[in-house]
Structure 1
Amino acid sequence: MKASRAFLVCVTIGRVRYADSAEELRLLVTSDGLEPCGLLEARREKPDPATFLGSGKIEELGELAREAKADVVVFDTALSAAQQRNIERAIELPVLDRTTLILEIFRARAKSREGRLQVELARLEHLSTRLVRGWTHLERQRGGLGKTGGPGEKQIELDRRMIGVRVKQLREQLKKLARQRGTQRRARTRGDTLTVSLVGYTNAGKSTLFNRLTRAKSYAADQLFATLDTTARRFWVNDEETVVASDTVGFIRGLPHQLVEAFKSTLDETVHADLLLHVVDAASPVREEQIREVNLVLEEIEADDVPVIIVYNKIDRTTHEPEIVRHPDGTPKAVFVSALTGAGMDLLREAVAEFSGRWREEHPNEPREPEPWEEELEAERRMTPEEELKALEALL
C-alpha cells in the first residue's frame, strides 16, 4: 500500500525556536506511515485566531500542498478545532495537528492491554474537546423564544454522554490494572531490590540500552515512540547484586497533556523508582533542549525528586570516549556509553553499583507491615493442637 503524502508546516511563535523542529516533525510523520513531500516554515508573533497562520500564508500553503500532490497537511503545533476546520476549508485538504499525529502513532504502537486502554482514553478526551458545533448542519432555524436546542445540539450532547460513559469505563479498568502493577512493584521491593527506571527523550536509545543491560529482547528501532509499554527486567551490576530496570515511554516536546494524564499509571514506575537513568542522545545537536523537555515531564508527574544519573548514549556517533563524570563529592553524575557497541557499559554498571551501595546504607531493610493473609497464617501457626481441633470441628 502506497503511503499518503504529507506536506509539513513548522511555525515559530515569538522568539521560541526549536532548531530540530522540522526534522522532528519529519520523523513523527514517517513514524505514522506517511511520506513527507514538502515543507513550509513560517514565523509569527502570535497565532491567528481563525487559521493560526493568517489568510495570506494559508493561501500560499494551499498552493504549495497542491503542487506537491499532498494528501494531508501536518502542522507541528496544536490547533484548535475551529482553526483546523477553517484551514481544511481554505486549502481543501485534510489537516493533522501535532497532538492528533502523536495520538495516532501511540494508537498504532500500543501492544499491551494497558497501553491500548491508555491511548483510547487519551484519544477520547482529545475528541471530546472537538465536538463543539460539530453537528451544526443538523440544526434548524428557530425563533428566539425557543427553550430547547435544535437536533444538532442534542446530537452533540448524545456524543458527549457516550464519550463520557466510555471514559469512565476506561478509567475504572486502568485503576484495576494500576493496582495490579502496584502489587507487582511491592513484590519486587520486598526483596530489598534497587529499582531503576530508564527515562529520556524519544529515540535516545532507551530500549537498546535496556536490552544491552538486561539481555532482554524489547523492540528497539530508529524511530520515535518505538516503545510504549513498560517492561521490567533484572540485570547484574556486579558479581553479588542485581537491580530491577524498567523501560518506559519516551518523552517529546509538546507531548499532549491527555497522554501524560493517561499514561500516569505506566509512568508510576518512574515515580516509584529509586534511581532514574536519564538517557540522552549524545550526538544530538539539541540535546540540552531535550534534557529540559524531559525534566518538565518528570516535574509534571512528580518524579523530579528521584535521584538521577545522566547516560549520554550513542557516543559511537561522536568523538567522546566512555567515562564517568562525577559530582564534587565524588558521586556519579553522568556516564558516556554506546548501547549499540557496548562501549562504557561496565562504567554504567559501576555507577549504578556505587549508587546502590549508598542507597542500602541510607535505606536499611526494615521489616514491612505483614499482609492480612500473612497475619492469618501466623495466627494459625500459633494454635495449640486442641485449638486446631476445635477450629476443624467448627468448620464441619
Structure 2
Amino acid sequence: MTEIAPDAGFHQNKKLKDALLQHAPLSAAGLSERLFGLLFSGLVYAQIWEDPEVDMEAMALSENHRIVTIGSGGCNMLAYLSRRPASIDVVDLNPNHVALNRLKLTAFRHLPDHAAVLSFLGTAGDRGNLALFDRHIAPHLDETSHRYWQQRGLTGRRRVSVFTRNIYRTGLLGRFITIGHLLARAHGVRLEEMVETKSLREQRHVFDTRIAPLFDRPFVRWLTARKSSLFGLGIPPQQYDELAGLSEEGTIAPILRHRLEKLACYFPLKDNPFAWQAFARRYPRPEEGRMPTYLQPQHHEAIRDCADRVTVHHAGFTELLMAKPAGTVDRFVLLDAQDWMTPRQLNELWTEITRTAAPGARVIFRTAAEVSVLNGKLSDSLLEQWSYLADQSAALDKRDRSAIYGGFHIYEKRPA
C-alpha cells in the first residue's frame, strides 16, 4: 500500500482514478468523472458528515471490537475511540484526508489537555495554535504528514496556519457552504438566522419562510440541475444521477430542500453540531450547544489513551482487507463509498468483507437513495451470508443528525 504525496494531482492518484473512472475520457460521463476527480484530489472534508452517535449504536460498539473504517475528516474515527475498541484501521483514497486524520490523532496523543485539543481542533481559530503545533504536534508527525502541514502556499503561510482561522471553512465542502451562504445573501437571506433561534418552532419558521423559498428561485433551480455545481458537496456523478432519478423534475433541488429541512427542523440546534457547521460555519460555543462527540470533555481521556490503537492507511477498503487474515474484523464502516461503485467493485469488496468478517460482524453504510445499494447488485451467494437489520436501520436513519443521506443500513454476519 504505497502512499503518494498529499499534493499529488488526480492523474497521479491511481487509487482514486481506479475507484472513480467508469466511462471513456471524451464521453460526457467521463468528462464529468474527471472533473469531479480533479476537485476531489484536494482536501474535501475537514469534518465528517455522518453522525457518530448513530454509528456507534448501530455497531453496538464495545472494547473488543476491531474496526475498519473510511477516514474522511477523521471525526468519527476519534469518536469511536471513546468506546475503547481493540483497534481501528482507517483507509482513505485521498492523501489529504490521510494527513488530516494523522494530525488529529497526533493532537490527541500529544497536546497537553482537553482545552488545548479544543482550541486546536474545535474553535474558530487562535493564533496560539501555531505554537501548539510546533511544540506538541510537529515533532511527532510522520515525515509525509509533517511535510504536508509545513508546506507554504502562495501567501507564504504554512498550511497548518489554517488552524489559526477555521479549518472547517476550508476544503471543498467548506468552500461550497461558503458559496451557499453568499448565494443566500444575494437573495436577501442570512443563513445564520437559523442559529439565532431558540426552539424547534422557531427553527421551523425560519426554514419555511426564509430558506425553503430559495429553492424556488430560478437561478438556484438552474444551478442544482447541473452535476458539476454539486461536486462541492462531495457528490460524484454517479450519486447525482441516482438522486436526480428520485425526483419527478429530474433535478436534485427537491431532495436537497428536504434534507436541509431535516437538518434545520428535526433536531434542536443545541444538540446538532452538523447544523451549526451548515448555518453558522463553526461549532457552537459551550453556552450555545454541544460540540461533536470527539471534542466533548468526558471523552477526552479515552480518546487520548486509545489513539495508538489507530493505523491510518492511504488505501482502498478492498485493498486493505485483502491483506488481512480471515475472520479478523468485527465492524466495517463504509460511509457512502458504495454509491460510487460498479457491481463488479461491490462484489469484490463484499467478497473480502465476508472473508475477513468475524462471527457476528456488522457492516454499516449510508446511501444517497433510501434503499440499500446492494439490492440487485450483490451476488446472492454473498448476500445470503448477511442479515439486513431493516427495523434498526430505519430507526437510526431518522436519528442521524447530519440529515444529508437518504438511507442508513446495517448488515450482520449470519452464523456459519
Q: TM-score, normalised by structure 1?
A: 0.29
Q: Which has the larger radius of gyration?
A: 1
More helix by share: 2
Q: TM-score, normalised by structure 2?
A: 0.28
More strand by share: 1
Q: Whose RCO is larger (CA < 8 A, sep 6+)?
A: 2
